[in-house]
């Protein structure tokens, strides 16, 4: 793409569920993330000209079938300018199927890039539904626990996915995330199917207690409370079976000083939250060591909570 | 009782569960409540000399078997002065079995009165465990969703009942409670037994969304969000079957402008929350009208959220 009049945005990876907020909580990382560039062209319609960083996977270049393309199309249709000539380049700079919201980042970047190119006719918040539609194309679910923090940044609580009833939570300044991505494959479908459709009332109450207390801990900057609350009794016991060495990694994180840890999204990535960057780095080393000694290639990302979300970088 | 050196405390009624915080949320009312008086006597040991306001029910006067007496005994034992001569008068000024935390109010008033008489050797917060033990004697469960707000006032969220991990939530200034107590009997045992031991994952997620959003609404003074969040999809659909005309009463509350309504504790009382006193009064009239036209005697209490909790009144 000719760089003249080109606009590039970055949409960050996200950690969804956050132990106790299954389908409801998510936060954004500084890195990794996806980059998408757009520019006006003379030929009518949205065209995806380039897709990089997909490794062995081939993403559809038809905008109707591409997560980033579709979210952008939804915006263009909303504005009644579907035939506007726009060329889009997609640069995947984060792993697929990692539990880090790869499709959400693409959906967010796609719609945000086009909105920027058009001179921001809509606010960031107003793009949420279009991004959710892009995400739905990839995941089959209209939910925003990854999309909302990737777009808006911070820690986002969703009361109701279908009505986009979302709320930004306070982000304690010293809260730092560590994410370990072990190079093993878990299909989101399998991660969904392993979940029991019923849970016990007592576990539900315990989870409610931890979710409420996590929110209170964030409002009150209470790291001890955040730590006590990061205990998933509903989902993690079921899904952790899909991640080898999960409990050793979790114990390593705790021993290294993490406030808590759990599965990122549907996995296989595991996130930890720590107070302070140096602890978060030690936690990362300790978690990586478990996978590494067991011969599992892995990557570590250490990041403050990204409070900006998706942004224009060029 | 000779009034010389007598100390009297008032412990308020409470609304537990608050639609979406089953076993975890509760708030205190200004009225009704229980009054307990204590004074030193020469004869060793705690003696309950008078119990009034129990109607047809006979409460045990043995302190070991009486909710108020037992919570006081727990404190005296903790302090190593079990044989201290103390006379206690219990004046029940609220209905039993109403779902308004009658036994919790007695447990709180009992331990608070003795602590005051002794010159407050312990803080209010430190009395919580003793009050919970008194409540356990009556209800069979060691839980603090009524006891904590009756003691401390306000809206209290409990992360974990067994560790007394409780947290005060902000109380929006204009939040006013309406409580209707229909004179029908529901045994707490029946209200427990009607509950399914399992719930669907999807309903649990919906409830989590509402609970988290209610807490956020309280922090942000967001009455619309509080209103959207006061929707119990877990417990109310099961327990409301025990309360005749429940849905009509609930609809009447909503139509009269309530933010939301649900069952108070294990029922049969129904609470509503409204913005402002005049709305709360209208809501009360509308709710009462349904019971009254159906021939059910009922009482209405309209009260701001009581942020003081248990207090010395004489």
The tens digit of pLDDT for each residue in B210-231 reads 999 999 999 999 999 999 999 9
Lowest mean pLDDT among A230-244, B171-185, B188-202: B188-202
| DSSP H or E run through B178 | strand B175-182
Chain A residue nearest residue B202, CA to CA: A197
Average pLDDT, stretch A127-149? 95
Please answer yes or no on whether B24 and A209 come within 8 Å at the CB atom: yes
Closest to A71 (Cα-Cα) out of A137, A19, A154? A137
Nearest CA in chain B to A212: B212
- Residues in B closer than 8 angstroms to A225, CB to CB, are 159, 167
**pLDDT for B172:** 97
Q: B207–A209: do the CB atoms touch at under 8 Å?
A: no
The ipTM assigned to this model is 0.95
Nearest-10 crossing angle of helices A128-139, A102-117: 140
Give whole-number Cα distances, A152 to A120, A268, B112, B221, in Å: 15, 24, 48, 22
Tokens representing residue A162 in the block: 């279908």
State the pLDDT confidence band at A190, using cuts at 50, 70 and 90. confident
Give the pLDDT confidence score for residue A275 in this predicted structure: 98
Tens digits of residue pLDDT in A15-45:
999 999 999 999 999 999 999 999 999 999 9
3-state secondary structure of A259: coil
Residue A140 is predicted with a pLDDT of 87
Mapping DSSP to helix (H, G, I), strand (E, B) and coil, where does residue A216 land?
A: helix
Average pLDDT of the segment spanning A50-64: 93
- Model pLDDT, residue B57: 87
Q: Give contacts of A219 with chain B, Cβ < 8 Å.
A: 219
Please list every residue in chain A whose beta carbon sits closer than 8 Å to the beta carbon of residue B155.
none
For all residues of chain B together, what is the average pLDDT? Answer: 96
Contact B209 A22 (CB under 8 A): no
Tokens 């964030």 map to which residue?
A218
Q: What is the CA radius of gyration of chain B?
A: 19
CA distance A300 to A290: 12
d(CA B262, CA A234): 26
Q: Is the pTM of this model over 0.90?
A: yes
pLDDT of residue A239: 95
Work out the pLDDT band at A56, boundaries 50, 70, 90.
Answer: confident
Going by C-beta distance under 8 Å and a sequence separation of 6 or more, which residues neighbour residue B119?
A: none
Residue A201 has its nearest CB partner, among B24, B198, B215, at B198
pLDDT of residue A188: 73
* Domains contained in chain B, CATH given: 7-170+307-312 (3.30.230.10), 175-304 (3.30.70.890)
pLDDT at A69 over 60: yes
Subunit contact A211:B210, Cβ cutoff 8 A? no
Q: Which residue on chain B is closest to A21 by alpha carbon?
A: B208
> pLDDT tens, A220-233?
999 999 999 999 99
Contact (CB<8Å) A205/B23: yes
Whether residue B189 has pLDDT greater than 80: no
- Sign, CA torsion B284/B287/B293/B299: negative
Q: With CB atoms and an 8 Å threshold, state whether B212 touches A211.
A: yes
Whether residues B198 and A195 touch (CB distance < 8 A) is answered with no
Task: Name the H helices within chain B.
Answer: 67-78, 102-117, 128-139, 147-152, 188-193, 201-219, 223-229, 236-239, 246-255, 277-293
Distance CA B241, CA B237 (A): 7
Query: Percentage of chain B with pLDDT > 90?
Result: 92
Biggest distance spanned by C-alpha atoms of chain B:
61
Specify which residues A16 forms β-bridges with.
Answer: A26
Q: What is the pLDDT of residue A2?
A: 59
Q: How far apart are CA A169 and CA A156, in angstroms?
A: 6
Work out the average pLDDT over B77-84: 97
At residue A3, the pLDDT reads 61
Whole-angstrom Cα distance, residue B74 to residue B72?
A: 5
Which residues in chain A are contacts of B25 at CB distance < 8 A?
212
**CA of A228 vs chain B CAs: smallest distance (Å):** 9
Spatial contact of A24 and A158, defined as CB atoms under 8 Å apart: yes
Take residue B246 and report the two structure tokens written for it.
């429940």
Q: What pLDDT does residue A75 have?
A: 98
Q: Find, among B87, B86, B112, the residue nearest to B33 by Cα.
A: B112
Q: Which of B159, B200, B216 sits opposite A209 (nearest CB)?
A: B159
Q: What is the distance in angstroms between the Cα of A213 and the nearest Cα belonging to chain B?
A: 6
Least Cα separation, residue A3 to chain B (angstroms): 44
pLDDT of residue A65: 97
- The CA angle A108-A112-A118, to the nearest 5 degrees, is 160
Chain A residues closer than 8 Å to B228 by CB: 159-160, 165
Nearest CA distance, B98 vs chain A (angstrom): 23
Of B21, B23, B208, the CB nearest to A207: B208
Q: Which residues of B touch A165 (CB under 8 A)?
A: 209, 213, 228
From CA A235, how far away is CA A295, in angstroms rounded?
26
**Closest chain A CA to residue B195:** A201
Task: Kindly list the residues of chain B whose beta carbon comes within 8 Å of any beta carbon in chain A.
Answer: 21-25, 157-160, 165, 167, 169, 195-202, 204-213, 215-216, 219-220, 225, 228-229, 234
Phi, psi of A167 (to 5 degrees): -145, 130
Over range B101-105, report the average pLDDT.
96
Pairwise CA distance, residues A258 & B101, whole Å: 39
Question: Which residue has 């001569």 as its token pair?
Answer: B85
CA distance B314 to B307: 19
Q: State which residue of chain B sits closest to A228, comparing Cα positions.
A: B159
Measured between beta carbons, the chain A residues lying within 8 angstroms of B158 are 209
Enter the tokens of residue A230.
């990061």
Provide, rounded to the nearest whole percent, the portion of chain B with pLDDT above 70.
99
């Amino acid at each position: 793409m000719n760089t003249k009049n080109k606009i590039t945005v970055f949409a960050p990876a996200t950690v969804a569920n956050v132990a106790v907020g299954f389908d409801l909580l998510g936060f954004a990382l500084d890195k990794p993330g996806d980059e998408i560039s757009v520019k006006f062209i003379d030929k009518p319609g949205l065209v995806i000209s380039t897709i990089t960083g997909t490794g062995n996977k081939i993403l559809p270049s038809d905008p109707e079938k591409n997560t980033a393309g579709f979210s952008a199309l939804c915006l263009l249709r909303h504005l009644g300018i579907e035939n506007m000539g726009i060329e889009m380049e997609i640069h995947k700079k984060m792993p697929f199927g990692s539990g880090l919201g790869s499709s959400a980042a693409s959906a967010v970047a796609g719609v945000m890039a086009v909105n920027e190119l058009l001179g921001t006719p809509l606010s960031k918040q107003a793009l949420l539904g279009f991004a959710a539609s892009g995400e739905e194309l990839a995941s089959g679910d209209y939910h925003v626990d990854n999309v909302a923090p990737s777009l808006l940044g911070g820690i986002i609580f969703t009361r109701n996915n279908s009505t986009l009833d979302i709320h930004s939570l306070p982000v304690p300044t010293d809260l730092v995330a560590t994410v370990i991505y072990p190079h093993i494959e878990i299909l989101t479908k399998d991660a969904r199917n392993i979940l029991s459709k019923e849970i016990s009332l007592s576990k539900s109450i315990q989870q409610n207690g931890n979710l409420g207390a996590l929110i209170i801990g964030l409002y009150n900057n209470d790291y001890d409370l955040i730590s006590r609350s990061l205990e998933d009794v509903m989902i993690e016991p079921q899904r952790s079976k899909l991640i080898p060495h999960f409990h050793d990694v979790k114990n390593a994180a705790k021993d290294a000083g993490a406030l808590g840890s759990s599965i990122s999204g549907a996995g296989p990535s595991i996130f930890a939250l720590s107070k302070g960057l140096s602890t978060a780095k030690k936690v990362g080393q300790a978690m990586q060591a478990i996978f590494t000694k067991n011969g599992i290639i892995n990557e570590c990302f250490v990041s403050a909570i990204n409070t900006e979300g998706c942004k224009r970088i060029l």
